[in-house]
Structure 1
Amino acid sequence: MIALLIAADLLIDGREGVSLTHLMLEGFVLVAALVGAGLTLRRFLQVNRDLVIARRDTIHWRDQHRALVQGLSAAISDQFSAWNLTPSETEIGMLLLKGLSHAEIADIRGTSERTVREQSRSLYRKAGLEGRADLAAFFLEDLLPPQR
């Protein structure tokens, strides 16, 4: 858009008899704007290609491991039941495990961030955990091979 406006101004200035120095300066700015637009477009296309590849890889991984993911989800639900979590605490626990922030969870659930924070604390208390990292570690610890 900037390049188009500069080009239009350059044409108008050329018809009005503006000095050659002024026209050259605006021409330089036009070239710089076009180069910037080209580089931005190139970067946008690269990011778009990377996103398409990432989405394809995600779908492939999900399809390949669907049974494992469903089994893990069921195991997590069973553990949440064993901890006697309320349905709200269970939902918050799942969203915390997905990596969402308290603000994002509050937005999804249509509640306040304070409510989410309190229900998270209740979940951690019932589970005997210190916080979000312990919650994730509880379920992931046995999935990862031991470190040497």
Structure 2
Amino acid sequence: MIHANPNKPVALFALILIQAICVTFFLWDVLEDARPEGIGALANLHIAIEAMAALCLIAAVMFETRYLMTLLRRKSHLERQVSVAAGAFHDIIQGHFDRWKLTPAEQDVANFTIKGLSIPEIAALRGSAEGTVKSHLNGIYRKAGVTGRGALVGLLIEDLFETPLVKDNVLEVKQQA
């Protein structure tokens, strides 16, 4: 079984190419078998079945090519959407950090907290004591007006849902295209 890397559709293109080669062979074989008798050769069940198989294979190759191109376009579109969402989330987080007037150390701890790291993990990454991280977290929660990690993440996620991911002028350009 062929497993294609979703980031490299080369294997799928190769499979379609192999099928196209098979189509060429089957068509050549049918034409060679039918040449002496012409169109009347299709009365021969064997030649008729070969011709039908060749036509079905042609349709399959065309369908697979079209479907693969559709999937690649969809994948590209989804990657762009994820990129826009990631950028928007970063902007929302940074906007909150600025409004809350977090210190650089608090911003660092807040980012690690939002990513789901524990207090000991944050302390190890920052090279500081767990008590220092807890102190930063208390300052972050106080400035943000929340009671804990879940409320902090919830506040940021809520803003992501309320913020349009694409600016109006970008939407207008897309609608005009």
Q: TM-score range by the shorter chain?
A: 0.5 to 0.7
Larger of the two Rg values belongs to structure: 2
Map 1:42-121; keep pairs closer than 5 Å: 64-121=81-138
Percentage of pairs with the same residue:
35
Tell me the distance in 2 between the aligned counterparts of 1:85 and 1:126: 8
Distance 1:72 1:90, change over 3 A: same
Q: Relative CO higher for 1 or 2, CA cutoff 8 Å, sep ≥ 6? A: 2
Q: Which amino acid aligns with 1:69?
A: A
Question: Do 2:110 and 2:137's aligned partners in 1 also have CA atoms closer than 8 Å?
Answer: yes
Tell me the distance in 2 between the aligned counterparts of 1:72 and 1:112: 29
Scaled by the length of structure 2, the TM-score of the pair is 0.45
- Counterpart in the other structure of 1:132: 149
Tell me the distance in 2 between the aligned counterparts of 1:111 and 1:67: 34
Task: Give unpaired runs (5+ residues) of structure 1.
Answer: 1-51, 54-59
Distance 1:110 1:68, change over 3 A: same
Tell me the distance in 1 between the aligned counterparts of 2:124 and 2:97: 23
**How far did residue 128 of structure 1 move?**
1.0
**How far did residue 130 of structure 1 move?**
0.4
Scaled by the length of structure 1, the TM-score of the pair is 0.53
Q: Which amino acid aligns with 2:153?
A: A
Q: Which amino acid aligns with 2:147?
A: E
Task: Give unpaired runs (5+ residues) of structure 2.
Answer: 7-75, 163-177
**How far did residue 116 of structure 1 move?**
0.3
Distance 1:67 1:104, change over 3 A: same
Runs of 4+ in structure 1 over 6 Å off: 60-63
- Counterpart in the other structure of 1:44: none
Question: Do 2:119 and 2:133's aligned partners in 1 also have CA atoms closer than 8 Å?
Answer: yes
Report the RMSD for the aligned CA atoms in angstroms: 2.5
- Counterpart in the other structure of 2:12: none
Distance 1:92 1:67, change over 3 A: same
